[in-house]
Amino acid sequence: MKLLITGGAGFIGSNFILYWMKKYPQDQIVNLDKLTYAGNLENLKDVEKNPNYQFIKGDICDKQVVATAMNGVDIVVHFAAESHVDRSILSPEEFIKTNVEGTLVLLEEARKNKTRFHHVSTDEVFGSLELGTEDKFNEQTAYDPSSPYSASKAGSDHLVRAYHRTYDLPVTISNSSNNFGPFHFPEKFIPLAITNLMEGKKIPIYGQGNQVRDWLYVEDHCRGIDLIVRKGKIGQTYCLGGMTDDISNLRVAKMIAKIMEKDLDNLEYIKDRPGHDVRYAIDWTKAKNELGYFPQFSFEQYLKKTIEWYQEHEDWWKRVKSGSYQDYYKKQYGDK
Ligand code: NAD
Ligand code: DAU
């Protein structure tokens, strides 16, 4: 099988390529990535010389590049996106361009040969659940995005579904909760907290830190996508979530500080994110019943492993935290 992975140099895409090439070494992978600030080929150095792996530097909005990359491909697994909520609040345009227009370009090319298309999306398209309830998102939950990022992902989900209904394109969609694990870009909460503590800085907590996320270890997400690619029903959406009970951001920060043997003076409450979704939780019963999906990694255990990964890969995140990241950090957090 030949797969086109878009955004394969990012956090989840690179984990997915490493996962796939280990599990299915006979398959061919083409990785199309623009290498924005979030793309990092260092993540893929274990496979870069593998004859079954090919990297194309290019933009999913570029029709020519997409046509070349999709040549002879059996399935597209589409990760490429602008993915950071806070950046989308500072400047939304790029999110609409990549996440909506870029997805459209890929779908148009896929339509020519009815290429199987898996779209990687997010639970953020559903908006926010209430704190203190047992409610969970599932495949029937109405779309209600809060940020320019989640609105752009919602737009891309609708396009993918429309291409199935209108043109019979063989698509599937996954909406997953917050991932964590190796190669997570250190502007997202967990890697930011870990690396800030390692740099002697504080963990910034938005508002009171009472917001809840449904943390999913990235390898479990990759396994879920693998199941959908191989066994998912065409035209269907699957929600993929983790094994956590409700854990607030404040509790996550305290857990990180405790594991890293830092005291709680290292937590700093700052201005809340505008339009901040307070709670996410995923009901993954459909993926379990139809595909046998089950997250294997507990948050507590794998948070510790993730911290160890950052401690062992200081070179990786120090390089990532330089460059354009510095400008963003200043805009978002001032001189803290
Ligand atoms: P990321 O920001 O780490 O990586 C995105 C990758 O896409 C980068 O390598 C970047 O260079 C590339 N890219 C961006 N614009 C591009 C363009 N125009 N053309 C080609 N490549 C481009 O993101 P991630 O966290 O790995 O997320 C991957 C996907 O999973 C996204 O679609 C995101 O919406 C979705 N998702 C992420 C999470 C999460 O917790 N991170 C959870 C659910 C869903
Ligand atoms: O739910 C899936 C989504 O998870 C993905 O679609 C997004 O691509 C991904 O970035 C992530 O979005 P979040 O906004 O939930 O992730 P982030 O790591 O930015 O923030 C997690 C929580 O931590 C959120 O409630 C905001 C809070 N936070 C974040 C940062 C960066 C802080 O309290 N302080 C911070 O400095």
**Degrees, nearest 5: CA angle 321-324-329:** 65
What is the CB-side half-sphere exposure of residue 163 using CA atoms within 13 A?
28
Exposed/middle/buried for 327, CB within 10 Å: 0-12, 13-18, 19+?
exposed
Distance 273 CA to ligand 2 centre (A): 10
Q: Select from 213, 215, 303 the residue to mutate for testing ligand 2; criterion: most ligand atoms less than 8 Å from CB.
A: 213
Domain that residue 76 falls in = 2-333
Residue 307, Cβ neighbours under 10 Å: how many?
20
Residue whose Cα lies nearest atom 14 of ligand 1: it is: 81
Instruction: Give the three-state DSSP class for 241.
Output: coil
Query: Active site includes 94?
Result: no
Residue 264, Cβ neighbours under 10 Å: how many?
11
Distance 189 CA to ligand 2 centre (A): 6
In which element (H, E) is residue 120 found?
strand 116-122
Q: Is 249 touching ligand 2 by the criterion CB < 6 Å?
A: yes
Query: Active site includes 168?
Result: no
From residue 72, how far is each of 48, 75, 78, 155, 163 by CA, in Å?
Answer: 20, 9, 16, 28, 20
Report the pLDDT value the prediction gives residue 303, as an integer from 0 to 100.
Answer: 97
In the predicted model, residues of the chain with pLDDT beneath 50 are none
Distance 308 CA to ligand 2 centre (A): 21
Report the pLDDT value the prediction gives residue 322, as an integer from 0 to 100.
Answer: 82
Report the pLDDT value the prediction gives residue 289, as an integer from 0 to 100.
Answer: 98
Question: What domain count does the chain have?
Answer: 1
CA distance 7 to 59: 9
What is the CB-side half-sphere exposure of residue 196 using CA atoms within 13 A?
22
CA distance 34 to 30: 13
pLDDT tens-digit readout, 116-139: 999 999 999 999 999 999 999 999
CA distance 182 to 217: 9
Whole-prediction pTM value?
0.97
Report the pLDDT value the prediction gives residue 330, as an integer from 0 to 100.
Answer: 78
Report the pLDDT value the prediction gives residue 241, as an integer from 0 to 100.
Answer: 97
Report the pLDDT value the prediction gives residue 201, as an integer from 0 to 100.
Answer: 97
Query: Active site includes 123?
Result: yes
From residue 292, how far is each of 49, 143, 162, 231, 336 by CA, in Å?
Answer: 34, 26, 27, 10, 45
Report the pLDDT value the prediction gives residue 325, as an integer from 0 to 100.
Answer: 60
Report the pLDDT value the prediction gives residue 324, as an integer from 0 to 100.
Answer: 64
CATH of the domain at 143: 3.40.50.720
Q: Select from 16, 36, 214 the residue to mutate for testing ligand 1; criterion: most ligand atoms less than 8 Å from CB.
A: 36
Neighbouring residues of 120: CB distance < 8 A, sequence distance ≥ 6: 12, 77, 78, 79, 174, 176, 225
